[in-house]
Amino acid sequence: MTASAREEIDSAIKSNDIMLFMKGTPQFPQCGFSSAVVQILDYLGADYGSMNVLEDQEIRQGIKDYSDWPTIPQLYVKGEFVGGCDIIREMFEQGELRPFLAEKGLITAEA
């Protein structure tokens, strides 16, 4: 990973309590997996930062190296890698995602 990619990723993760590395933007996701995570975060009323990895191949590869995770999307919460689409969807469906984010003061505990 290039030093500039690492710096950009570090900075995005540090400055956003919830940070989503995705394909496309929340308004215009360009992959169904990214879209699914956006829909879940929006449903929960989460405030999150996002980065479109399709705009920068160094970030697209860099985030995989950074997290040691082979795919996009990738969700970070308070500096910790939480997972990709399958993990986020599973946490949501099991009713675990709202309390996970609420305990960190990032969303309300109730809808």
Ligand X SMILES: N[C@@H](CCC(=O)N[C@@H](CS)C(=O)NCC(=O)O)C(=O)O
Which positions lie near ligand X, rule CB under 6 A? Answer: 23, 31, 33, 60, 71-73, 84-86
The answer to whether 85 is a known ligand-binding residue is no
How many degrees, rounded to 5, is the angle at CA 101 between CA 71 and CA 89?
40
Which CB sits closer to ligand X, 90 or 105? 90
Min CB(2)–ligand X separation in Å: 16
Min CB(77)–ligand X separation in Å: 15
The shares of helix, strand and coil residues in the chain, as percent rounded to the nearest 5, are 50, 15, 30
Q: Which residues contact 77 (CB under 8 A, 6 or more apart)?
A: 17, 18, 19, 100, 101, 104, 106
- The answer, yes or no, to whether the previous bond of 73 is cis (omega within 30 of 0) is yes
Min CB(16)–ligand X separation in Å: 19
Which CB sits closer to ligand X, 65 or 78? 65
Feature table: binding site for [2Fe-2S] cluster: 31
